[in-house]
Amino acid sequence: MDWKTDPNLEASPSRQIVERALDAIACGDLVSGDSLPSVRKMASEALVNHNTAARAYRELEGLGVVRPENGKGVFVTRSGKKIARKRRQDETLLVLQRAIDGALRAGHAPESIQALFNKGKRRDA
């Protein structure tokens, strides 16, 4: 996995690591029992200092998607996928809701938004 962060983005490097991990867990690139790199390794791969990497791990642990095991590393939990996916769904629904509100205010017909949605659905199928 590519963990390299970009300090020119709005999200802090630690947030970028959290989001990338949640994404990988939500879509099954990382599954229950998979390990994440050690904090030091993550620092080197994400090109951040290791307090930043540790902060990201603490947050992932707080969310319940990863769990440290004594001396062995940090592992994706059994409920990790469900939690990560729920978070992703909540976030994306919020973004979608805002986009729809914005589009309606801008004068788009509900039908054309519906058509766009159907087009997206077909592409996904």
Q: Which residues bind other proteins (CB under 8 A)?
A: 5, 7-13, 15, 40-41, 43-45, 47-51
Shortest spacing between CB 115 and other proteins, in angstroms:
32
- Looking at beta carbons only, is 5 or 77 nearer to other proteins? 5
Q: What is the DSSP string of the chain?
A: ------TTSSS-HHHHHHHHHHHHHHTTSS-TTPEEPPHHHHHHHHTS-HHHHHHHHHHHHHHTSEEEETTTEEEE-TTHHHHHHHHHHHHHHHHHHHHHHHHHHTT--HHHHHHHHHHHHHHH-
Residue 12 or 32: the one with the smaller Cβ distance to other proteins is 12
Q: Which is nearer to other proteins, 17 or 81 (CB)?
A: 17
Smallest distance from the beta carbon of 114 to other proteins, in angstroms?
31
Shortest distance, CB of residue 109 to other proteins, whole angstroms? 32
